[in-house]
Amino acid sequence: MAQRDRPIGIFDSGIGGLTVVREIIKELPDEKIVYFGDTARLPYGNKSARTVIKFSLENVKLLLKFGVKFIIVACNTSSSLALPALRRRFKVPILGVIRPAVEKAVRITPAGRIGIIGTRATIGSSCYQREIRKIGPGCKSFAQACPLFVPLAEEGWTNDEVTLKVARRYLGPMRRKNIDTLILGCTHYPLLKKMIRKAVGARIKFVDSAKEAALEAKRMLTRDGLRRRRASGFPGYRFFVSDEPERFRKTGRRFLDKKIEFVEKV
């Protein structure tokens, strides 16, 4: 099979990476996708760097079995902790979600005051903060871990007063620091946009790491002549998990914004 006709591989700790799949389908509708959600070992967001790196290496190995031409690390926690190790180990091009989001934030921030929210491991790694210093040295960053957002999004409490209370408690201090731009640095947060918006105020610009990663993937595949041709027929999506395929199928619908027909367990 020609290189460009091979699928894109995407992995995440579980279900959240479907927000990245959703954006990829929007930006690159002709591409085949193989998705792996490591549902048996989630969440990654409160695990050590060593564990997240080990799991991420295994996930890439699995995706390579499907002959993928390009890999997207949809998980912000894996992107923060494991990207250098993955790139050292494998030859396939691997894109993480951190850099595209930071580039966008630095481009649009009016006064260089950028907030970052993510899992404990993402924020603790300082990966976003380091990228901001590199790409936008004049900018100031303000980071806050929001670990309760993941279960709230999975529970479907996306428009709920409990979620709003939690959001206000996490984001109040950031709001008082007068941030003007906020990076949603976790797969699950696009689902909570409404509540996060209420907590930080209407004038703050949001950067969705899933959307920016999809745009960057499109740019890279175009540059490298790796885009699949439309004439090659319906692209086809395959979803794999390490546990509870049925739960993934049901909950995944909200994250993907589409019905998932079939999920396979590996």
Catalytic sites, residue numbers: 75, 186
Q: Of the candidates 189, 79, 80, which has an alpha carbon nearest to the alpha carbon of residue 125?
A: 80
Q: Is 95 in the site for ligand DGL (CB under 6 A)?
A: no
Examine residue 96 and tell whether it contacts ligand DGL (CB under 6 A). Answer: no
User: Containing H/E element for 256?
Assistant: helix 245-256
Nearest residue to the partner ligand DGL, using Cβ? 45
Among 7, 9, 37, 45, binds ligand DGL (CB under 6 A): 45
Binding status of residue 144 toward ligand DGL by CB under 6 A? no
Q: Are 123 and 145 in contact (CB under 8 A)?
A: yes
Residue 19 interacts with ligand DGL (CB under 6 A)?
Answer: no
Phi first, then psi: what are they for 264, rounded to 5°?
-105, 145
Amino acid at 164: L
Least Å distance, CB 41 to ligand DGL, is 9
Nearer to ligand DGL, 69 or 163 (CB): 163
Q: Are 192 and 117 in contact (CB under 8 A)?
A: no
Q: Does residue 12 bind ligand DGL (CB under 6 A)?
A: yes
DSSP class of residue 220?
H
**Least distance between ligand DGL and beta carbon 187 (Å):** 4
The least CB distance from residue 34 to ligand DGL, in Å, is 18
Contact pattern for ligand DGL over residues 153 through 192, marking x by CB under 6 A:
---------------------------------xxx----
Angle at 260 between CA 254 and CA 262, to 5 degrees: 145
The C-alpha angle with vertex 13 and arms to 249 and 220, in degrees rounded to 5, equals 95
How far, in Å, CA of 165 to CA of 170, rounded? 9
Chain residues in the site for ligand DGL (CB under 6 A): 12-14, 16, 42-45, 75-77, 118-119, 122, 150, 186-188
